[in-house]
Structures are given as C-alpha cells and as structure tokens.
Amino acid sequence: MQITEDNFIEQLKNKNEKALEHVIDNYGWILKSVIKKHLFYLPDYHEECLNDCLMSIWENISYYDPKKSSFKNWIGGVAKYKAINYVRKYLRDLENENIENVTVITEDNALSQVLSKEISLETKKMLECLSEEDREIFMKLYFEEKNMDEISCDTGLAKPVLYNRLSRGRKKMREAFSLKGGSSQ
C-alpha cells in the first residue's frame, strides 16, 4: 500500500512501518528542531531522544486526535515532552552522582541551574492556561509521572480534590486550545 499524506495516520495506527518512515521523511524535521532547541546543552542525547520520540509516536498514535490537533502540533508536543524529560533525567542523575561523589562540580552546577530554569519555563509554557496550583498537579502527574497517592501526599490535597482539579484543568486546556484554533492543519 502506498503511504500518502491522507492515509499515514491510519496506517500508523495499523502498525505499518512504512507510515512511520513517512513521518521521518516529512515530519522528522519537527522532531529535530524541537529536540535541538530543548537539548541544546545536551547534544549527546539528541539522537537517543529522536529515536525515543519515534518509538513514542509509534506506540501512542492512538491518542492523537486529528479533530483536535494538527499532527505537526502533536508530534512537536511529543518532542518537547520527551526533551524536557531527558533534561529532567539528566538533572536527576547529576544530583545522584554529586551526592555519591560528594565533590560538587561547579560547571555541572551552573549547567544544572540553567537547565532547571529552562525546563521550569518550558513546562510552564505548555501548561500556561492553568493556575499555579493546578499546574503543579499536572506537572507531577504528567511530567514527573507520580501517581495520585504520591501527589496527594506532596500537595496535602485529598484525591477527590485532585481529580476535580485535573478535570477542571483539562477542560481549561481544551477551551484555551480551541480558542487559539489549535486544531487547524
């Protein structure tokens, strides 16, 4: 079957590898552009992150909804989310390493400060329509991948309150996104 712009999403969902190749050929630049910017200080991770993005697109294409978002926007989001997670993981590893080695390397500290500030800013941008409190909950759930018990413990909020906040937050995001015309191709 020939893969075209009209059928590649459907074929991706059918697990046709040729459709993923279509994504690489036609949309790969988006992944590279986003990753290169957010992992500017971590060039060693570019290739790994790029491959990781492709695997995530492959495995999670069922969550993409063409009625709500353009594919470009969605995979741009995938790349940004992945890149931020790579930075987060790098910082976590660095922290563990510094604790183990006792010696704190000044250069690493400077870089970690820059990176921490950047991921904080970028995640804030992604969740900009939310209030500070709701954003914290979303970040813990989606970016730090904590479960509801942990979030409840961290925030001191009961789980029903958290569910309510999440539901409200998602609604806000949907409304904000549709106002911006985010589903246009």
Partner 1 sequence: MKDCNNVYELLNYMEIDLDDYEKEMLSDKEKRSLKGLFKKKRRQRVLMQIGTIAAIFFLAIGFFSQTNLGKNVYAAVQLKVAEISYSIGVSMGIERDIEPYANVVDQIVADNGIEVKLSSVIIDKDELIFSIIVNTNKAVDMFRFDYDIFINGKKLTNYGATGRAGSITDSDSLFFHTQAVDVEGIDLKDDIDVRIVLKDMELITGTSQEKRKGKWQFDFTANGSELTANSRTIPIDYSFNIDNQEYILQEFRYNPVNQKIYGKVKGAFGVRYDVYLKGHDNLGNEVVFYLASVSGEDLEFKYSNIYSDLSDELTSISLTPYAAKLPEQSGKMSDDYRQVGEEFIIYLSK
69 or 112: CB nearest partner 1? 69
Q: Name the 3-class secondary structure at 183.
A: coil
Query: Taking the complex as a whole, how short is the minimal distance between the CB of residue 100 and partner 1, in angstroms?
Result: 20
155 or 182: CB nearest partner 1? 182
Query: Taking the complex as a whole, how short is the minimal distance between the CB of residue 23 and partner 1, in angstroms?
Result: 10
22 or 115: CB nearest partner 1? 22
- Residues of this chain that interact with partner 1 (CB under 8 A) are 15, 17, 20-21, 24-25, 28-30, 32-34, 36-37, 50-51, 54-56, 58, 60, 63-65, 68-69, 72-74, 76-78, 80-81, 126-127, 141-143, 166-167, 170-171, 173-174, 176-177, 180, 182
Under 8 Å between Cβ of 57 and 20: yes
Query: Taking the complex as a whole, how short is the minimal distance between the CB of residue 127 and partner 1, in angstroms?
Result: 8
Closest CA to 49 of 60, 64, 65, 33: 33
50 or 112: CB nearest partner 1? 50
DSSP state of 140: I
For the chain, how big is the Rg over CA atoms in Å?
Answer: 18
Question: What are the phi and psi torsion angles at 66 (to 5°)?
Answer: -65, -20
Query: Taking the complex as a whole, how short is the minimal distance between the CB of residue 68 and partner 1, in angstroms?
Result: 4
Nearby residues of 83 by Cβ (< 8 Å), 6 or more positions away = 34, 35, 37, 38, 39, 49
96 or 178: CB nearest partner 1? 178
Cα 11 to Cα 49: distance, rounded to the nearest angstrom:
23
Angle value at C-alpha 142, between 86 and 83, nearest 5 degrees: 20
Q: Name the 3-class secondary structure at 82.
A: helix
Query: Taking the complex as a whole, how short is the minimal distance between the CB of residue 87 and partner 1, in angstroms?
Result: 16
